[in-house]
Amino acid sequence: MSQEPEPEKGGLELDIKWETVESEDAREVIERIQLVSERVLFHWRAFPIILPQSIVDNKQICLKDLFVLPTFDELDALTTDCKGNPKFLSHNQLQSIKRKGQFTVPSINFPGQTHVWKLNNFFQKGIDTAREEYLDGLSFSMRFLVVYAPELLLADRLSVKESLNYLKSDLVELFDLLFGVGKVYSPNLERRIQEERCKFLVAELKCKGEGAKQIGRYVRNQAQKALREKVTMAMERAPSIPYRFTTPISLEVDLRLFDRDVMRKVASPLTRILEKSGRGWFLSFREKVIAELKTRKLSEAEIEMEANIMVMDEYLKRVYNGVRSCPEITCTGQDVDRLLIEQAQLYVLMHRALDIVSIKMEMELRDIKKYFVGEYPILSRDSSWMKEQMDRAQKKFIEENKWLPHEISVELFKQHFLKQHTYFLSRDLAFMRDTEPVLRKELEADKKPCRSYEWKIRIWRPENYLITRVLHGQTEVIPTVISSVPTSITSPRSDPYHPIFSVKRVTTRVTTSRWPLWRVQNYIHRTLTWLLNTMFVLGYIVPWCSPLSVRALFCTRPFLSDYELSQVNGTLCPKKSSQRATLISRLIDIWRKVSKARTRFESQPDTGFLGKGWNRFLNRFWNYVVKGFFPSIFLVLFLPLGSLVTCILSLALCVTAPAWMPLVVLVFHLVCIIVYDFDCPTPDRNQIFPLFVTLGSLVLRGVVQPIFCLIGALVLCPTVSGLIALCSVFNYGVRIAWDSLMFYSLIKPKGRLPSGNSWIVKRVMGPGLAPDFYFEITIEQALIAFQAKLETEELNVYYHKANQKISEPLTEYKTFFQNCFSPFSAKLVESEGPYKDLIRETLVLKSSLEDKVLKRRQQLETGLNVSTRSRIRMRKPLLEKTLFAACKVAQNFYPVRIFSKMSGEEVTNFWESRGLDVGDWMNLAILLMSEIFCQDFLTPLDDPDVCFSVEMRMRENPISSDVLLTTIESECWGGEVPVTMSKVKYHIHSPFLDISAFNPMSRSPHIIEHTLSLYLCIPLPILHPAYISVIIHNRETDNPFSTDNAVCQAILKALQDSGPTLNQDCISLEIEDSTSSSSDDNSSLARSTPTQEDMLAVDSPTHLYGQVPTHPPSSRRGGGDTGSLTPDLGASSANTSGHGGHSSKASLACPEEINLEDVVLSSYGTTV
């Protein structure tokens, strides 16, 4: 290669206007800057743009003539003989028309290709085609007998079987609406089984030392303190969590990957290792694997499966080596790298077991499908029948092989010596196969009623109220003491060492929906509850404690009608807000206000407009008459009358309540049956107009639906099937007769080869019409295109380097100006001076460069569009020789003409950007060939492929391919060149491993969304070592404790999240959240209604439908709940009432400040 001329630099002259410079100092500075700038700054005096040598420098070579596509217009030559007469159809063509309704004509220009012509179905359909339609018609007619009719009788939806189930369930629902049917369910069945599964995996583990016992004692003590000291206890230092355990067979179990601190340290290096391990080897290794597997004579499916496994194994091998050699992971702890590798192997091998079972299922289903096609040639044509049979076979396979993923995973673990994971997976398999069915039956037998109903009856006498005191988690009942002095301490103290008092003012009876006739039982309890509470209100509250009571009529002073609970010592004290005024107190209050108004008027100075003499008369009339006399007369006349009438009516209703209350309750129950079911035991059942909905469902789905299904299955389906079969037979006979008539009367005597499409005949296949035809090229054409691609790459590098070279003067000028004048806040001006000249020269040179480069690029283009490039192929021997030759061309071209112009870092980036190892010339040639043509170019042509030759009309061949190939064969030809055939025939996936595969806590254990993995959890649901320690403590101690409460769960969660360096504030916060959120829920948990998930296991004759719940269970009270009824000095106020208005235990609040010197505390009373 000749040496390229270097650009010629010229000095940059600065035009300085010295007449404008007056200062000698400034002139001296400018002169020095001018000397330096003329030495540093320059411009291109001459910049020759000479593009690299190219094959298109020869005017005789035009790459547009490299690929000349064939023409397919030969129909006119096919339809006439050598004398120009039309050709008639041959005997074979006539027989093809008779059998298939089409005929073929051999091609002249394309040997081995044929033109296929198809006749209009009106003239000829063909015996074979008519027979296929006849068999399809019979198959369609059989669908009504073997698919639709059985579905109308026995299917799960819209069938007689479903109607009978609806009839039974609707009758049960109707009886349940009227009288009540037992409704029970198994609460949290799946969650409890999952919990037992997790515990079973670690049930046999042992811990060396006292670590597990210390954790257990710590959790128990902290839970007791949390309940006793209301979250304000002083937290003691948590012991370290043990992560090493042993099994009964002395197998060491290391669970240090459950330590979040360890996983945080290894997360960053693992990410780098995973990213680095997938670069630079996949393409070459994939082709090597495919070539190796093809020598074993395996099928394509087996080659694809084995290749994916081998590629993944190679990737995992690189990842594991990176983990072992990573110093950051090694410094985390001893054998942490081994634990990470084993965890990743667990993840990969369990998924591989699922894939193996999936492939086995597909193979078995494929064999079953072949069996059905052979044994039932007509029925197998029907897609509905085949789908039903295949679904049935798939369900049978899954049921028979539900433990196969576990067993294969265990075998794979043993082969890879994963003893720890083999132990846990074997335990999981033993639980799911042996223990889980028995446990499920036991838990399903543990039934709870779907709903509980509370019937609260008010206690009439305050002396019988139940008062409890809670201190340090201990609850005790104290004697009821009534004080006559009001108190202001009614809110619980915030002091954790002060007791909390609560009062219960009702007696509660509970009924459930467990037993039959529960609605009758509810009717009796509701009647009794409403009767007693109504008699309490009408017979006691109204005549004795209300503002219109007898006491309000005859007493002289106001009285207090209610009690409230004192939080000082639990005494019932009169409630100030329950004061009731009497007739006399009202009159006294009226005239006291009159007296105060008169006194205020007389005491004021006489400064008014009219003076007191005139205003005194008006003031006396207003106060004595309007404000005093009239209200007093109104009270004296109407208050006694109203009190007497109210008391008499109240007592009369109270006495007659046993007579009319049962009728009221009966009306309420009728409303529940007809309008809205307030006593509905299950949340999924309709509650609005339940009777009409049930009767409508009974009539439509229980009576009308089975009638229509029977008519359809026994009458319509056979009738339609027979009609379709008769139509198919008739159509087949008519078609055969018509085809014979048209063939012998018209086609055979008159048929000729057509020269174009018409409404009678149309060309459907042939050269140029096939959607999957290809163009075959030669070695010379491929190598010339490859050379043009290399020169394009060289041209791009040259353009990039020349562009940088052209911009050097401008860059130097900017740098010089920035360094010298930026401290003086100076700015470059592009509109004048030498900078403007530099910009203009740079733009001119760049424009000239772009024009020449663009012209060269156009000359190096082959002129093939995307569609044509995607169809270019080669035969396998020629493709192998082409790739080897391209490899040698690239090996000789790149170092000399491209890499010589690049730095070492740029060369390294060149290989990494393409995902190749340095010096991997074969895969570079493969990659470039894919870019020139398409990805599928590397798949060689087979004998059945339809292909056409592409000519080359270049006057001169720029590459001596014969000499090159002869040199290669004599020097380097040592075996088969790997050809990329996986692009189309084999789907070899790029290996990938998520970082979560190394973390056993990456997500909560759940069932993988896979048809075959209904029982396989990935990863295994192993409990955290903190939970394992508690299990070991409870197993080995005589004083076990339950961890089902919210406080223990919060402490264990804090231990799990914090690791060995436990944050005490985190635990305090967790406990506070759990206690505040669950304090009220725990009391009502037993009486809450089941969720829809629980209702899936309802044990009742009624079939209940439900879905997975998306909300927590809600507490629903029975109809017997009553509002707060206020007796004399007996009922509690709103601010001290508890849940449902019947408990005075309130939320924590700061008490009012009191002076203990003025209070004398007795044992159970307060004296002020």
List pLDDT tens digits, range 234-257.
Answer: 456 788 889 999 999 989 999 999
Q: What per-residue confidence (pLDDT) applies to 1035? A: 87
Q: For all residues of the chain together, what is the average pLDDT? A: 81
Range of the domain at 785: 8-65+772-953
Following CA atoms 123, 125, 126, 131 in sequence, which dihedral angle do they give, to the nearest 10 degrees?
Answer: -140
Distance CA 942, CA 948 (A): 13
How far apart CA 923 and CA 608 sit, in angstroms, is 115
1-15, 298-312, 707-721, 875-889: which has the minimum mean pLDDT? 1-15
pLDDT of 20: 65
**How does DSSP assign 321-380, residue by residue?**
HHHHT-HHHHTT-TTHHHHHHHHHHHHHHHHHHHHHHHHHHHHHHHHHHHHHHHH-TTGG
Task: Output the six-digit token pair for 648.
Answer: 């008499």
Question: Can you tell me the distance from the alpha carbon of 301 to that of 914, in angstroms, rounded to the nearest whole number?
Answer: 29
Q: How confident is the model at residue 841 (pLDDT cuts 50, 70, 90)?
A: confident
What count of Cα atoms within 13 Å lies in the side-chain half-sphere of residue 344?
23
**1124 has pLDDT over 70:** no
Would you place residue 956 in the very low, low, confident or very high pLDDT band (cuts 50, 70, 90)?
low
Range in 138-152, 489-503, 570-584 with the lowest mean pLDDT: 489-503
Which candidate, 728, 856, 872, places its Cα nearest to that of 51? Answer: 856
Which of 37-51, 326-340, 965-979, 1013-1027 has the lowest average pLDDT?
965-979
Query: Could you tell me if residue 447 is inside a domain?
Result: no
- Work out the angle at residue 263's Cα, subtended by the Cα atoms of residues 238 and 255, and round it to the nearest 5 degrees: 65
How far is it, in rounded angstroms, from Cα 805 to Cα 799? 10
On whether the CB atoms of residues 611 and 592 are closer than 8 A, the answer is no
pLDDT at 1080: 43
Q: Using CA atoms, how far apart are residues 179 and 88, in angstroms rounded to an integer?
A: 90
Q: pLDDT tens-digit profile of 809-823?
A: 888 888 877 778 777
Angle, helices 921-932/779-806, rounded to nearest 10 degrees: 90
Tell me how far apart the alpha carbons of residues 591 and 795 are, in angstroms, rounded to a whole number. Answer: 114
Least confident range from 400-409, 668-677, 737-746, 1096-1105: namely 1096-1105
Residue 720 backbone dihedrals phi, psi, to 5 degrees: -65, -40
- Band of pLDDT at residue 484, cut at 50, 70 and 90: confident
DSSP-derived pairing of the beta strands 466-471 and 774-776: unpaired
**pLDDT tens, position by position, 1080-1120:** 443 333 334 454 444 434 333 333 233 333 333 333 334 44
Q: Please tell me which residue, 315 or 1150, carries the higher pLDDT value.
A: 315
Residue type at 684 in one-letter notation: D
User: What angle (nearest 5°) sits at the alpha carbon of residue 479, between those of residues 474 and 481?
Assistant: 125
What band does 646 get if pLDDT is binned at 50, 70 and 90? very high
DSSP-based three-state secondary structure for 807: coil
Q: Does residue 449 contact residue 512 with C-beta atoms inside 8 Å? A: yes
Crossing angle, helix 211-229 and helix 1025-1036, to 10 degrees? 90
Q: What is the CA radius of gyration of the chain?
A: 48
Higher pLDDT, 420 or 865: 420
Q: What value does the mean pLDDT take over residues 358-362? A: 92
Q: Do the strands 452-458 and 506-512 form a parallel or antiparallel pair, or are they unpaired?
A: antiparallel
pLDDT tier at 1014, thresholds 50, 70, 90: low
- SS3 (DSSP) at 763: strand
What's the pLDDT at 1094? 46
pLDDT at 525: 96
Mean pLDDT confidence for 396-405:
92
H or E stretch at 682: none
Q: How many Å apart are CA 241 and CA 214, to the nearest integer? A: 9
Query: Residue 31: how many CA atoms within 13 Å on its side-chain side?
Result: 8
Cis, peptide link before residue 405, omega less than 30° from 0 = no
Residue 977 confidence (pLDDT):
52
**What's residue 223's pLDDT?**
82
β-pairing, 774-776 with 947-949?
Answer: parallel
CB-based contacts of 943: which residues, under 8 Å, 6+ apart? none
Out of 27-31, 747-751, 752-756, least confident range: 27-31
Q: Would residue 443 count as lying in a domain? A: no
How far is 465 from 218, CA to CA, in rounded Å? 40
What percent of the chain lies above the pLDDT cut of 90?
35
Q: Is the pLDDT of residue 1071 over 60?
A: no
In a domain, 802, yes or no: yes
Q: What is the pLDDT of residues 169-189, one digit of tens each?
A: 999 999 999 999 999 988 889
Q: Which of 882, 870, 872 lies closest to 925 in space, CA to CA?
A: 882
Per-residue pLDDT of 1021-1051, as tens digits, reads 899 998 999 999 888 888 888 887 888 888 8
Decide if 877 is inside a domain: yes
Q: Which tops the pLDDT comparison, 617 or 1140?
A: 617
Q: What tokens appear for 622 in the block?
A: 């207003």
φ, ψ (nearest 5 deg) of residue 1047: -70, -45
Pairwise CA distance, residues 993 & 1016, whole Å: 20
CA dist list (Å): 737 to 122, 138, 741 = 12, 20, 6
Say yes or no to pLDDT of 1006 above 50.
no
The DSSP annotation for 1007-1058 comes to B-S-TT-SS-BSS--PPPHHHHHHHHHHHH-SS-----SHHHHHHHHHHHHH
Question: Is residue 80 one of the residues assigned to a domain?
Answer: no
pLDDT tier at 131 (50, 70, 90 boundaries)?
Answer: very high
For residue 1124, which phi and psi values (nearest 5 degrees)? -75, 120
Q: Does the structure show a pLDDT above 50 at 1161?
A: no
Q: pTM for the complete prediction? A: 0.71
Residue 984 lies in a domain: no
- In contact, 1097 and 187? CB cutoff 8 Å: no
Helices (H), 80-230: 91-100, 127-143, 149-154, 160-178, 189-201, 211-229
- Quick one: 570 exposed, middle or buried, by C-beta within 10 A (0-12, 13-18, 19+)? buried
Q: What is the band of 770 on the pLDDT scale with cuts at 50, 70, 90?
A: low
Residues 6+ apart with CB under 8 A from 792: 857, 860
Of 293, 193, 288, 49, residue with least CA distance to 852: 49
Q: In the prediction, which pLDDT does 598 show?
A: 87
Higher pLDDT: 765 or 404? It is: 404
Q: Please identify which residue in the block is written with the tokens 């298109």.
A: 56
Helix (H) or strand (E) holding 503: strand 500-504
290: buried, middle or exposed (CB in 10 Å: 19+, 13-18, 0-12)?
A: buried
**Number of structural domains found in the chain:** 1
In a domain, 905, yes or no: yes
More confident residue, 1080 or 320: 320
Q: Could you tell me which residue, 1166 or 73, shows the higher pLDDT?
A: 73
Axis crossing angle, helix 91-100 with helix 127-143, rounded to the nearest 10: 10
- Tokens of residue 280, six digits: 């630079």
Is the confidence at residue 898, as pLDDT, over 80?
A: yes
**Least reliable range by pLDDT among 818-832, 958-972, 1129-1143:** 1129-1143
Return the DSSP state at 712. Answer: I
| pLDDT at position 989 | 81
**pLDDT digits 0-9 by tens, 513-530:** 999 999 999 999 999 999
What percentage of residues in the chain have a pLDDT greater than 70? 84
Q: What is the pLDDT of residue 1116?
A: 39
What pLDDT sits at residue 236?
64
* 206 lies in some domain: no
| CB crowding 1060-1091: b at 16 or more within 10 Å, else e | eebeeebbbebbeebbeebeeeeebeebbbbb
